[in-house]
Structure 1
């Protein structure tokens, strides 16, 4: 997929930089997962004439040319082209209309792109560029509240009353707020390019609340303050701190300062599951993290998750995720294989030379 990031005189640059962050992160993860292979992603920043521009921020990254795979796809007639349209710094709705009158070349560029079968990802008031060309006629989408009334009057064939913050109509992806740009581009990436790569990138770029709680325990740097919260809170905290320990309900109930029967009742009411099921979920999440960022084998990972029998844990992982541990690592790994990063191998070769 080739992505063109449209830089306009009044563009909100954060939208483009967020899109670029997603593309660069996805490309980096793809290189870690499949070293030496093209990831199929390329991008460039273009001006209103459609010509490539150097990056507006010196030292960030230069425009990247299309990969050989993308060029081959274009010759074979495949459509893998995306135009990212940012929001613009309009003072108000009438000023947005004035910008359209001043940027007829931009509208022509968007029109040519659409006529060639390309996809569009427009955010904030940038969706008006697609609406101006009739690309959203018949759609029911969300629009920025500040411009909603103006858009409804100007583009009467489009319904802007939808409450969803982002979506897709035809070949136009749309988002109502610049702050959603990272999540928005991840959705576009998953839809048009590679869902697995988009999911792996989301784990890096979006807040992972549960992992923020679990990861410190992996590195033995967790800091906890005393709390007198609910028994369920204390039980969950104890389970997170003892993921690798054998499960004994009596110990969990003791940590929660209630009877086993009371703990089971309250735990199910609050979480919808038993403490053991919750512990299994924590162990699966820990295993996913280790598969993604470490080089440990399945036996070591099973032991880190409280199982001496790796075969038993592999079956649990398969039931929970729908895939084997090796398949999960192949799809979502966030680091290169050992032979691509071991510095000591290079040092030995240098010494031998």
Structure 2
């Protein structure tokens, strides 16, 4: 396949729910290779190496989720053959069933993939790959808030939050980036793959981009759903929010609920998405993360305060669930919290 003037054609798939920042941000990054580095150094733009364009179901302008007007360059049935198709993240409710809602886009994605295109998604855009049938039995990634959406809708999908990018499918032509700003990682990877690593480094330097080498796990909330609809379980959640550091909190919640233990465990898991003990651990670790970000208490003291007498167990659990040791987490996030929380 050839792009315009031997440029790499990059189709950015848009719909009314699209996130405009990701859509136009990707457009800018894909316009930069070959053009911007000479301009920065000499004031004269170089020859652009990639040809991004916006494609939608129809070539009719529409308003994005945040009110920005989108003017597609092409409709699905008249766009140039792309080397790459990118699906930016879009606003759908986590867990929402989308079957049939994006059938034209799903059919077009299958057609493009059959013609040799790379199909790439950022954040919740992976849902469209699922709708097109590419995620059944595959490894995938998506924003941590949408993991349940994939697990509930696509058979045997294996979700990985530990890597910035996940590749699957024939010749690994399905590429997924997980978190909200991971479209930057995706764009840099694609620039390196199709134009060259040196050009990707130049684009990263111009835009001051950093690779999200940690994956999503350190950023994700360990808790599942928020307040349960089940009033009995919600009451236990409220109690636990103030008493997570007590000994045997699960037994205390069972007693508080007045339910048989097996009944309580079943209802709690159904209502929150986590087994009671897993929920306790998640709540304790979320509190520990806040304490590591905002204070200077020793890790052993934090472990004891959130309910762990054995600080070595706390460290192992924290590392397994968060992806960093408590000390690494503090170094990574305490300074950031201080910076964003300080008045200018």
TM-score tier after normalising by the smaller chain length: 0.3 to 0.5
Between the two structures, name the one with larger relative contact order (CA 8 Å, sep ≥ 6): 1
Task: Please tell me whether Structure 1 or Structure 2 has the larger radius of gyration of its CA atoms.
Answer: 1
TM-score normalised by L of structure 1: 0.47
Structure number with higher helix proportion: 1
